[in-house]
Structure 1
Amino acid sequence: MLFEYSYGFYLVAAIAVLITGISKSGFSGGIGALTVPMMALFVSPLKAAAIMLPILCFMDLLSILAYRKNWHGRNLVLLLSGALPGIVIGTLTFSYVDPDNVRLLLGVVTLVFGLSYFVTRQKVEAVATEPSTPLGLGCGLLSGFTSFVAHAGGPPVKYFLLRQRMDKTLFVGTNVVFFLVVNQVKIIPYAWIGQFSTENLLLSLVFAPLVPLGIWLGLKLHKVLSPELFYKISYLMMVVAGIKLIYDSFA
């Protein structure tokens, strides 16, 4: 059954997995939002999301080895307190919610916030500010929900954390731990609604060997980038992700 897919699918999916690994370990995601749409050129979006979830979980486990000591406790508590109910809401409303409407709303918010950095030319400060409780819970809730229904939970977390101008390694580490928990939790409802077929799991296994290479490349890039360049790239990735989410909602 694995031989029924074209060479184009395997090539594009392999590139998508590498990009996601680099993005996740080096920049806390962003470009990773393009993965499912790239694979959806050849298979259904639901199938692409099901194939990617085990791969994302593998990436999280490798990334946490590098960032296990670099994460912000209060931010994680706030975000996860909102994300877990968001996943439950996503599970219960999965059959009724139009993912395209979710992508459109999330894409607009992501694009506006990403562009605001370049319009106002904000300077990067390496000191984390006190996180806002209402904003953290709200962004966590939105991230948990959108992560479940559209694999697009990164932008709300970035919106919350980038505003604090924390150290780049602390920023990525907090993202890594957050999505380690979220993606592991998502396995249960994804299995419950029948997303993990034997074929999907075999395809995940085919692309799994590319994960360590992507994670390694991302870690190398993270070490050599200055904080200012890191934040510019992170915001630029938000702009790209926002445009892509808006495009997907209409396409």
Structure 2
Amino acid sequence: MASLESKLLDGANAGYCSSSEGEDESGWKVSNDDDTHQQNVMRQLPGTSNTGAKGVLSDFQLFREEVMHHREQKNQQIVKQAQRGMMESSKEERERVQNGDDDDDETLENMRAKRLQEMRKALTGRIFEITDSKQYLEASESNTSSLILVMIYEPGHEGSEHLTHIFKILAADFPDAKFLRANAALLGTTKNFKTLALPTLQVFFNGALVGNFVCVDKQLPEEYTTFQLIQFLERKRILLRQNRYVEEIDEDDDYDSD
């Protein structure tokens, strides 16, 4: 799919590097990082040979119980880590510790509490997985008055994983916008593209590409936050808070306020 890769790299606003489950009402597959776990559960379920209604319902009930138990365990683990201060420190927190800012203990606790809140929110945010190139084209050509944000990623890629986390939080905060992601391999991109261009963030509005940010994490601060991404997009006239794209920004409007 060389033409698609050319479109990604040569599209407007392109930047360059220096070197929940099921489907929604439209048939989109909800991206779920627990898919592997769910598949393992299904393989281990007893009574899979039961094809009657009772057997199917029994299998499904056991499956749901296993999935819910797994999610509850993950949520409890997050809470315990936050309480013990074991959650991975942000850059700002590490700098405070290194500088011996003991007077800022309350601030650090507030920062950890905020991150815990974000992680819980990420559990509720729904992003949709593009399952084939046809779906990607449908998303890019969709004539809708809502913003469509598409992340092109690779599993295990650090920048892609961070943007996925950011996407989940934004999806919970802005349910009117649509957040999608597409595996770069699914789109037929080259190895060079995967090395130099990921993660790529594209934004569509009314069937038009209004934002094409190759290697978007290199255009943002290290360990960027949801608010920093929102501000970045607003400078490009992509207004998540209003779910629209504008040709010009009114200087009287304060889009950077939180």
With normalisation by structure 1, the TM-score equals 0.26
Instruction: From the CA coordinates, give the structure whose radius of gyration is larger.
Output: 2
Q: Which has the higher contact order (CA 8 A, sep 6+)?
A: 1
Larger fraction in strand:
2
The structure carrying a bigger helix percent of its residues is 1
